[in-house]
Amino acid sequence: MERFRPVWAEVDLGALKRNYARIQSYTKSELMPIVKADAYGHGAIPVVRAFKELGAKRFGVALLEEALEIKQEFPDLELMVIGASPEEHSGTMVRENIIAGIFSLSQAQALSKAGVEQGKTARVHIKIDSGMGRIGVRPDEWKEILKIAQLPNVLVEGIYTHFATADHADLTFARKQLDRFQEIIAKLERKGLQIPFKHAANSAAILHFPEAHFNLVRPGIILYGLPPSQHVGKDAGLEPVMSWKARVTHVKTIEAGETVSYGRTFRAAYQTRVATIPVGYADGLRRALSNCGEALVRGERSTIIGRVCMDQTMLEVTKIPGVEVGDVVTLLGQDGQEQIDATEMAEWLNTINYEIVCDISKRVPREYVE
């Protein structure tokens, strides 16, 4: 995308690759990078290409559309839809050899039908609801998996679950989930069903729950250099991959008593220098940052003043000498000795860093550096 507006996000592929290598040092299991939501806002195709260069062969996405986009560019990769796979698209799943995460007999039957019609095998991974309470086969429904395994043209290649609290300091509930998952696997094996791939570990579990690694793990947020929570990952040696920048488009001085932006929520207490940048909530800079968020200008912290607009935001730069039109403003990233990352921005908003990077909209061009 050609850039006409001075707003962009830089994605450091070198940092991305170093994170992958660092994560690999935490486990002996195969990594299945999770690249859903356009690789958490970083750009799925460049991110997948970088991991492919490091030897990754299997990737997880949330939607069939995401799998098809990657498959078009990298037809040889193993792609798994880890979320719900609609039955009406079973034919496409089988035709494109995309692995389906399933949790019902009816899903499996639809895939079986498509497999028979196409003369192909539908590969599935069975999702177990061990305590997340979202999707999955419940523990008391485990015999349904035996029925799925008996369907024609269906291969139960994997079984998996997802932890609700692996990012907590207390792993008591996560261990209960792991026990439930292992009990189901044991029951299936006693019935003669051996499933090749078993996976449960998300980013947090990779870092501090090694007994949950099995032979496949699913790194997500840690690939992009961000900790899963305040309790896990801060000292994991990861590097934030994305920075977000804009250039100043206007600088002015307002007098005491003058106001800035919609609703006049900021009123100057003294003569104030104001810098405007051409980025706003349509780009993912949340309106809730009005009068409280910060950005970096010339290596110094500056406060957002007034309400964040759809396309523009104002900063106070009174104590930062020499600010002028064209100066780079860092919304996420490092400038001099100062740094703002998605985790800090998330704390201002009482949310999580995942949401920050995923929310940076498509109209912010990604630029890839190494």
Judge whether 194 lies within some domain: yes
75 and 218 co-located in one domain: yes
210 and 76 co-located in one domain: yes
Kindly report the number of other CB atoms within 10 A of residue 316's CB atom. 20
Give the Cα separation of 4 and 21 in Å (integer).
36
* CATH number of the domain bearing residue 267: 2.40.37.10
Question: Can you give the pLDDT at residue 324?
Answer: 98
Catalytic residue positions, numbered: 36, 262
Question: Can you give the pLDDT at residue 3?
Answer: 75
204 and 302 co-located in one domain: no
User: Are 152 and 115 within 8 A, CB to CB?
Assistant: yes
Judge whether 1 lies within some domain: no
* CATH number of the domain bearing residue 146: 3.20.20.10
127 and 60 co-located in one domain: yes
Judge whether 168 lies within some domain: yes
Residue at a domain's end among 224, 252, 275: 224
Question: Can you give the pLDDT at residue 85?
Answer: 83
Give the Cα separation of 105 and 111 in Å (integer).
10
User: Tens place of pLDDT for every residue, the chain, 370 residues?
Assistant: 567 899 999 999 999 999 999 999 999 999 999 999 999 999 999 999 999 999 999 999 999 999 999 999 999 999 999 999 889 999 999 999 999 999 999 999 999 999 999 999 999 999 999 999 999 999 999 999 999 999 999 999 999 999 999 999 999 999 999 999 999 999 999 999 999 999 999 999 999 999 999 999 999 999 999 999 999 988 899 999 999 999 999 999 999 999 999 999 999 999 999 999 999 999 999 999 999 999 999 999 999 999 999 999 999 999 999 999 999 999 999 999 999 999 999 999 999 999 999 999 999 999 999 9
283 and 163 co-located in one domain: no
Question: Can you give the pLDDT at residue 1?
Answer: 52
23 and 139 co-located in one domain: yes
99 and 168 co-located in one domain: yes
Judge whether 237 lies within some domain: no
19 and 87 co-located in one domain: yes
Residue 89 structural domain: 13-224
Give the Cα separation of 243 and 333 in Å (integer).
4
Residue type, position 325, single letter: V
State whether residue 120 is helix, strand or coil: coil
Who contacts 119 (Cβ-Cβ below 8 Å, separation ≥6)? none
Judge whether 360 lies within some domain: no
Instruction: Give the total number of structural domains in the chain.
Output: 2
Question: Can you give the pLDDT at residue 2?
Answer: 63
Question: Can you give the pLDDT at residue 233?
Answer: 86
258 and 199 co-located in one domain: no
Give the Cα separation of 226 and 249 in Å (integer).
30
The residue behind tokens 């947020």 is 221
50 and 156 co-located in one domain: yes
250 and 198 co-located in one domain: no
What's the pTM? 0.95
Label residue 334 exposed, middle or buried (CB < 10 Å: 0-12, 13-18, 19+): middle
> DSSP of 178-226, one letter per residue?
HHHHHHHHHHHHHTT---SEEE---HHHHHH-GGG-TTEE---GGGGT-
166 and 267 co-located in one domain: no
